[in-house]
Amino acid sequence: MTHETTPIRASRPQGEASSASPAAEVVRRWREEVHAKAVAKSPERRARFATSSGITLDPVYGGAPDGGMPGVYPYTRGIRPSMYRGQLWTMRQYAGFTSARETNTRFQVLLQSGQTGLSTAFDLPTQIGYDSDHALAGPECGRVGVPINSLYDVELLFAGIPLESVSTSMTINATATVLLALYCALAKKRGIPLAKLRGTVQNDILKEYAARGNYRFPAGPSMRLTTDLMAFCAAEVPQWNTISISGYHIREAGSTAAQELAFTLGNGRAYVRAALAAGIPIDEFAPRLSFFFNAHNHLFEEVAKFRAARRMWARMLREEFGAKDERSWMLRFHTQTAGSMLTSQQPENNVVRVTMQALAAVLGGTQSLHTNGMDEALSLPTEKTARLALRTQQILGLETGVADVVDPLGGSPYVETLTDELEERAREILAELDRRGGPVAAIESGWVQREIQKSAMTWLRAVESGDEVVVGVNRYQIEEGEPELFAPSEAARRQVLVDLESVRQRRDPARVEAALQALEREAQSTRNLMHPILAAVEVDTTIGEICAVLERVFGKYRPPEVL
């Protein structure tokens, strides 16, 4: 239950004295008007929250200068009245290995360890849309994630996993339509209604052009694929988060917190405009938009960033775009700890870094969280380090008390000031984006990339000069031996190629050719491409064959010079 329009602020009849502070009056009204109703509808995890000394903990402390109490627009203090007192965040661990079989084994281990959602990493050929035996795939097959070529691989990947009861996140962008189609095809094959599927595809192509580089098609056709997926899910997969607008990779590329905030929300605004231009009513798609942020090293700035993001998005959707559904105003986000801040030197130190970054995400009100393994600066995490990363989340949620009070840092002059300052700086960057024609034009001109590069170089020079301390790297070094590095299993890689060839041999070539011809015709029209893509994967057409057809129609993206 959320409070729709009236901000909760202290008020009293004219001339009446107040026996409580304004903040206390705000909290009293919130507890009576919002929190009590929410708890009556959905009880909290405990009847009473208390410290080890027996001190009872209230659900929230301090007011909200902007009226954004928990569950109240503009949601500065959280999108739900009870937040983690009602339910802890979804604990995800990112996994993807040399083959679907190996990745399924890791998925099973993580689920048995208490993970509450799956997060899938794909290898580079899959992310760009090449089959594993393509000349460009080469040694990248299975190196940084799982290779997916056809429906058979998806069957192996999710063998024994109940799609109707597990939430699945897929970090996939240029080929998001194909991967979602494969997931839907597997559900249909198992007799699971698409309406029961829950999860997220990242589907954020703009940040690929700006910061990450895993693109295939030009911006215009890519935006069409993005909105086609959104429209398809609004009609047929209503519980699916159709896009995870990602600041994570923008921050990993070297941006500041303010830039991460501005460029991410700017991209979100561009997707909203594109969906509206495609004729999708805003309250049909906006409630299923989600975000993906980085949890970096500066604890308080990160908390303030998450709070500012919620407030800015709520105002943008309600005031700029006129969304009426409360759910459209709520910024829901996944967080991953900062991979770029992990060090290969003294990797045990990364346990501390990850813990503090995860704490920032929790204090900032994330809806789901991935914690990096301490060894990820060297290779894919081992089963042991992945479990330790998951245990970090479980300890934070169940042992420390940080989940017992909503927005525990809210009301702090420091955090409130940081929240306001980050919002102001982000708005200045958003205004510059608009002056440059919006995110797509600013990316195509190279301006966004140059701004991120400038910030990255500023930080790097500070590390090199010693002004910015990285423990174990430029201070407190020790002698260390050569680390053991992950190497993809050659046997598993060979099996991937055998599986791919087996699929090609046993499928019906005529049905594949008909599906590809239908896809090409539809790509040349303005109709939604999710349906012909789904039809193609159901007859075992491969991701490489589908993307080759799309490239023939759309062309291939060529990045601008940004140096």
99 lies in some domain: yes
Name, in order, each residue with C-beta under 8 angstroms of 292's C-beta and a sequence gap of 6 or more. 202, 204, 244, 245, 246, 247, 248, 333, 334, 335, 336
Residue 98 CA to residue 494 CA, distance in Å, equals: 10
The total number of structural domains in the chain stands at 1
- Give the mean model confidence (pLDDT) for residues 447-462: 97
How does DSSP assign 356-384, residue by residue?
Answer: HHHHHHHHTT-SEEE---TTTTTSSPPHH
- Give the mean model confidence (pLDDT) for residues 129-149: 93
> Of 9 and 457, which is predicted with more confidence?
457
Opening angle at CA 58, ends 57 and 64, nearest 5: 135
pLDDT digit string (tens) for 393-419?
999 999 999 999 999 999 999 999 999
The H or E element that residue 444 is part of is helix 439-444
Q: Which domain holds residue 296?
A: 86-465
The per-residue pLDDT for 563 is: 64
Residue 51 CA to residue 129 CA, distance in Å, equals: 52
523 lies in some domain: no
Tell me how crowded residue 511 is: count the other CB atoms within 10 A of its CB. 15
544 lies in some domain: no
240 lies in some domain: yes
70 lies in some domain: no
Tell me how crowded residue 319 is: count the other CB atoms within 10 A of its CB. 11
pTM, two decimal places:
0.90
The per-residue pLDDT for 222 is: 96
346 lies in some domain: yes
470 lies in some domain: no
The per-residue pLDDT for 78 is: 98
49 lies in some domain: no
In terms of phi and psi (left: phi > 0; alpha: psi -120 to 50; beta: otherwise), the region of 267 is: alpha
- Percentage of the residues of the chain whose pLDDT score is greater than 70: 95
- Give the mean model confidence (pLDDT) for residues 319-337: 97
CATH number at residue 380: 3.20.20.240
Quote the mean pLDDT of the chain.
Answer: 93
pLDDT higher than threshold 80 for residue 96: no
